[in-house]
Chain A
């Protein structure tokens, strides 16, 4: 198989170990005095966007930063609980860059690009150094040294953490660095501003169209290049652990402008979330993977066992992860654990009011460590569970069920994190690059910060130095055209005046995708889903009800724009899932499984990243393939037994 000519992954020459150093040496630089003549637009202020904005501004570029929230500090990176991986080997447990690289490639079920992942492992240590220098209060041992914990999919302790709020602390570090640059007038911050379109001039990404969410004003912004750090598309499922405002709009609009969407079918279902309680449910709450360090997952052995958990004797419980995967046990990776939980529920052994749940039990941990220690380690999570469900995990096991958590797919990028559109960089969860078909726990923060602090600032500088994007203003006709389209779309949504609310459409879309493109996918189901999504999309444009006007703060209008994009994006997601006739990581096709029910890859046919090219809303996108070469690690069946 050869890669599509459209996809030049641009991987540097040399040994795997030397590739990043070689690339850094090749990169052209911009003279410090000239940096201030260049402007960079960065959309999103999470770890990837915030860190990049701070770093590029510090280097001397002018940065325009955008976020839809009221403050950059609220980006959803803040919600990451468990920790951040780094191959520091501080524990001396034989961790290394290679081992983190290996674990990530294997965890991703051999569907990630080797060179990118190796670079990620190389940079991981610098991230911890940087964050400590910023004053991130990581957990410490009594000796004053940094503490570590274990996480799923690894047999070493390489996860750094700050209580159950690691994402928050890392984000605040990046946010503070960003605020420092705002104060220095190097960053212009646009809060409560949503990107609505990408503008290309002469084939290069040169700006965006945005909407001020308070006044409704549509604004045009021009720059030398654009970085999208806008997160994942998990909310296409309606219910997910994402924040309510998370959307695919930025990457989807870029896709419609010609950027390729890669591997959208790789969606991660996190095993430990609080189960759905009713139709009004607006989001799902994650219970950190770190709980599986001490919690044991189980379901009753008997079908339909309605006894309270504490009355089910030990020999009638099935600790299914420990049974199926003895060497990793409760620390099996997320995709595998989620499927195992779903399997138990599908067999009729689920617990809770609707049978969609399994137990995560701390009784043994409390016996072994004492309640106090368990409280110290997981107190805030246990309290959160208690607030939401009204149940006390110290006396009865938690009920958990898998939920959409992270999306490995995203816009296709080369080694320099640039998409196929020159000048459009995509970082963090918004790109497809590092996690293959499944992401390991505590690796999202690592990728976001690696992209933001250490990779994109250099590759963007190189782009500006070598491409020398010329002078363009917002008077260019491309800006006017994009603005016009944006305004028309808004007007159209407001003028339908039908009967169905945005949320209703979103719920229905989410249900189609969760049922047919969730944890288990089939050909028939996916074909059906595509039909249903098309029908729903048609209905959306006929029967949508959005109240209020365009020139005001209008949250329904904001949501309508996002759902309109999800209704198109969802179809691409299902098409990708339909075309990938194998099971790997988070993509599980029922037709392709081993006799034991494990994912069965088809390396011969599918060792590639699938990148889709937009051809029109109702027409089939064109598939481009980037061949994945495994030179340092041999392709093998992924086993955690």
Chain B
């Protein structure tokens, strides 16, 4: 096992309202470690020294929960394609490397502490319409709705989004259109999602704008940083759905 000496420059920020700055740490790492395990080692040392460990979001550590969120050397989730931070392994780095670690940077994702940001904006976007309104029970047999395999596959391609926010972090404009596009497309691709498709896209776009995300200018950075490699074709699909819904006027729910 080859050990490597690393220099880490880590963003430290006590809380939402305080100013942050970079701090430098030296550490040893094995090539078999995951990136987060490397940080665990740094943190345990900090704790033993009576210092505050680096706070970062993480949970499943197998690339699916979407909690981990760091910009590593300028790339969200680090240099390896289609990989979340928790699945990034240290064999991608070499002895003597300096690694800069920053939180997601976006107005809509305020830093809570160190590398932890608040991604509640994503939840609020889903709240505004990212669902089908199927009440529990009283639904037809699963096989009564036939869905061509290609459509189901495309819906799945979009539905894979883990909501990590790397798309926003990567976008030069901090736009959330890949996230929103993926959910709009997932549901718009399926017959079950058709009924509410028009109000869904309108409401989700409105909420997205309200949260203070930037606008897509088609850089494609989101797609290449997405750990699930979700295609920007879904942004195009969202735009199409949105334009298709222009003539649709929503009736107030209060009129029921």
Q: Would A and B touch once assembled, by the CB under 8 A criterion?
A: yes
Chain A's closest residue to B119 (CB) is: A70
- Known A73-B66, A134-B131, A163-B156: A281·B37 in contact at CB below 8 Å: yes
In the complex, chain B residues 126-175 whose Cβ is within 8 Å of any chain A Cβ: 126-128, 130-137, 139-143, 145-149, 152-153, 155-156, 159-160, 162-163
Q: Is B118 an interface residue (CB 8 A)?
A: yes
Q: How far is the CB of B73 from chain A (nearest CB, A)?
A: 18
Q: Is B62 an interface residue (CB 8 A)?
A: yes
Question: 1/0 per position for A122-144, CB-CB distance to B under 8 A?
Answer: 00011011111111011111111
A146 x B65 contact (CB < 8 A)? no
The answer to whether A79 and B62 touch (CB under 8 A), given A183-B128, A503-B44, A553-B112, is yes
State the interface size on chain B (CB cutoff 8 A): 81
- Chain B residues with Cβ under 8 A from A146's Cβ? 142-143
Q: Which of A78, A143, A176, A556 contacts B131 (CB 8 A)?
A: A176
- B130 touching A179 by the CB < 8 A rule? yes
Flag whether A384 is at the interface (Cβ < 8 A). yes
Chain B residues contacting A388 (CB-CB under 8 Å) are 34, 87, 89
Decide if A638 is an interface residue (CB 8 Å cutoff).
Answer: no
**Of A137, A241, A501, which one neighbours B186 at CB under 8 angstroms?**
A137
B195 to chain A, nearest CB (A): 11
* Residue B249 at the chain A interface, CB threshold 8 Å: no
Q: For the complex, what is the distance from the CA of A100 to the CA of B127, rounded to whole Å?
A: 36
Ordered nearest first, which 3 A-B pairs have the shortest CB separation? A144-B146, A176-B131, A133-B139
- A280, B192: Cβ atoms under 8 Å? no
User: How far is the CB of B107 from the nearest CB of chain A, in Å?
Assistant: 17
- Chain B residue at minimal CB-CB distance from A176: B131
- Say yes or no for B57: interface residue by CB 8 A criterion: yes
Please, which residues of chain B bring their CB within 8 A of the CB of A453?
136-137
A145 to B67, CA, bound (A): 34
A-B CB contact pairs (8 Å), 6 listed:
A76-B65, A125-B142, A132-B139, A140-B148, A182-B127, A280-B41
Which of A129, A176, A286, A556 is in CB contact (< 8 Å) with B62? A286
What 0/1 readout, one digit per residue, does chain A (426-469) give for beta carbons within 8 Å of chain B? 00000000000000000000000000011001000000000000
- Assess A76 versus B32: contact at CB under 8 Å? Given A180-B127, A503-B40: no
Instruction: Report whether B34 and A282 are in contact in the complex, using a CB–CB cutoff of 8 Å.
Output: yes
A70–B118 touching, CB < 8 Å: yes
Q: For the complex, give the distance between the alpha carbons of A523 and B133 in Å.
A: 54
Contacts of B40 in A (CB 8 A): 280, 282, 503
Question: How far apart sit A277 and B33, CA to CA, in the bound complex (Å)?
Answer: 8
Are B57 and A132 in contact (CB-based, < 8 A)? no
**Which residues of B lie under 8 Å from residue A139 when comparing CB positions?**
152, 156
B122 at interface, CB cutoff 8 A: yes
The interface residues of chain A lying within 8 Å CB-to-CB of B32 are: 277-278
Stretch at the interface among B4-12, B48-56, B94-102, B236-244: B48-56
> Does the CB pair A79–B64 fall under 8 Å?
yes
* Interface residue? A54 (CB, 8 A): yes
The verdict on B113 contacting chain A, using a C-beta distance below 8 Å, is: yes
Give the Cβ gap from B245 to chain A, nearest Cβ, in Å.
18
Q: Is B36's beta carbon under 8 Å from chain A?
A: yes
Contact in complex: A126, B137 (CB < 8 Å): yes
Which listed residue (A143, A163, A278, A384) contacts B87, Cβ 8 A?
A384
Given A71-B122, A71-B123, decide whether A129 and B63 contact each other with a Cβ distance below 8 A.
Answer: no
Told that A51-B136, A132-B139, A135-B187 touch, could you supply 20 new A-B pairs with CB distance under 8 A? A70-B119, A71-B119, A71-B122, A73-B66, A73-B126, A74-B60, A75-B65, A76-B60, A79-B65, A130-B137, A132-B192, A134-B192, A144-B147, A176-B132, A180-B131, A183-B128, A191-B123, A244-B61, A280-B33, A282-B34
A387 and B30 within 8 A (CB)? no
Contact A129–B64 (Cβ < 8 Å): no
Bound-state CA distance A504–B44 (Å) is 9
Chain A residues with CB under 8 A of B55? 553, 555
Most buried by B among A130, A135, A277, A383: A135
Q: Tell me, in angstroms, the Cα distance from A176 to B127 when the chains sit together.
A: 7
Q: Are A547's CB and B51's CB within 8 A?
A: yes
From A79, A137, A162, A191, residue with most partner B Cβ within 10 Å: A137
Bound CA–CA A367/B48 (angstroms): 53
**Contact across chains for A457 and B136 when beta carbons are under 8 A apart:** yes
Closest Cβ–Cβ distance, residue A530 to chain B (whole Å): 28
Residues in B neighbouring A504, C-beta threshold 8 A: 44
Question: In whole angstroms, what is the CA distance A619 to B61 when docked?
Answer: 36
Residue B230 lies at the interface, judged by CB distance under 8 Å to chain A: no
In the assembled complex, the Cα of A163 lies from the Cα of B154 at a distance in Å of 12
Known contacts A503-B44, A552-B15; A76/B143 CB under 8 A? no
Contacts of A144-160 to chain B: CB distance below 8 A: 144-146
A135 touching B1 in the complex, CB below 8 Å, given contacts A176-B131, A182-B127: no
Nearest neighbor of B83 in chain A, beta-carbon distance = A387
Q: Which residues of A contact B118 (CB under 8 A)?
A: 70
Please tell me if B23 contacts chain A, counting CB pairs below 8 Å.
no
Contact A162/B127 with A133-B134, A144-B147, A553-B116 known, Cβ cut-off 8 Å: no
When distances are taken between beta carbons in the complex, the residues of chain A under 8 Å from B47 are 501-502, 545-547, 556
CA distance A503 to B45 in the complex (A): 11
* Majority secondary structure, B binding face: loop
Q: Is A268 an interface residue (CB 8 A)?
A: no
Per-residue CB proximity of A274-318 to B under 8 Å, as 1/0? 000110111101100000000000000000000000000000000
A599 within 8 A of B: no
- The docked-state distance in angstroms from the alpha carbon of A262 to that of B250 is 52
Judging by beta carbons under 8 Å apart, are B58 and A244 in contact?
Answer: yes
CA distance A347 to B88 in the complex (A): 34
Within 8 A of B (CB), among A547-598: 547-548, 552-553, 555-556
Chain A residues lying within 8 Å of B105, measured Cβ to Cβ, are none
Contact yes or no, B15 A58, CB < 8 A: no
Q: Is B80 an interface residue (CB 8 A)?
A: yes
Cα A556 to Cα B149 with chains together (Å): 47
Check A526 for interface membership: any CB of B closer than 8 A: no
Q: Does B190 contact A (CB under 8 A)?
A: yes
Residues on A with beta carbons closer than 8 Å to the beta carbon of B136: 51, 54-55, 58, 130, 177, 453-454, 457
Is A499 on the interface with B (CB-CB < 8 A)? yes
Contact A547 B61 (CB under 8 A): no
How does the 8 Å CB contact mask read for A177-207 relative to B, with 1 for contact and 0 for none?
1011011000001010000000000000000
A36-44, A165-173, A477-485: which lies at the interface: A165-173
Question: In the complex the two chains form, is A390's CB within 8 Å of B91's CB?
Answer: yes
- Cβ-defined partner of A183 (8 Å) among B1, B14, B58, B127: B127
In the assembled complex, how far is the CB of residue A496 from the closest CB belonging to chain B, in whole angstroms? Answer: 13
CB distance from A515 to the nearest CB of B (A): 22
Contact A133 B186, CB 8 Å, known A76-B60, A390-B91: no
* CB–CB B141/A129 < 8 A: yes
Contact B190 A137 (CB under 8 A): yes
Q: Which of A58, A162, A189, A457 interacts with B156 by CB under 8 Å?
A: A162
A70 and B62 within 8 A (CB): no
Closest chain B CB from A521 CB (angstroms): 28
A-chain residues with CB within 8 Å of residue B149 when the two chains form the complex: 140-142, 144
Q: Say whether A548 contacts B130, CB under 8 Å.
A: no
A169 to B159, CA, bound (A): 7
Report how far A384 CA is from B147 CA in the complex, Å: 29
Which of these, B15, B67, B128, contacts A553 with CB under 8 Å? B15
A172 contacts across to B, CB distance below 8 A? 159
Identify the interface centre among A55, A72, A79: most chain B CB within 10 Å of its CB: A79
Q: Is the CB of B193 within 8 A of A135?
A: yes
B74 on interface, CB distance cutoff 8 Å: no
Interface residues of A in 200-243 (CB under 8 A from B): 214, 241, 243
Q: Which residues of chain B are near A138, meaning CB under 8 Å?
A: 142, 152
- A243 near B89 with CB under 8 A, answer no
Asked if residues B134 and A73 are in contact (CB atoms below 8 Å), the reply is no
Q: Answer yes or no: B120 CB below 8 A from chain A CBs.
A: yes
* A562 vs chain B, min Cβ distance (A): 13
Cβ B33 vs Cβ A278 within 8 A: yes
Q: Is the CB of A137 within 8 A of B89?
A: no
Cα distance, A206 to B48, chains bound together (Å): 40
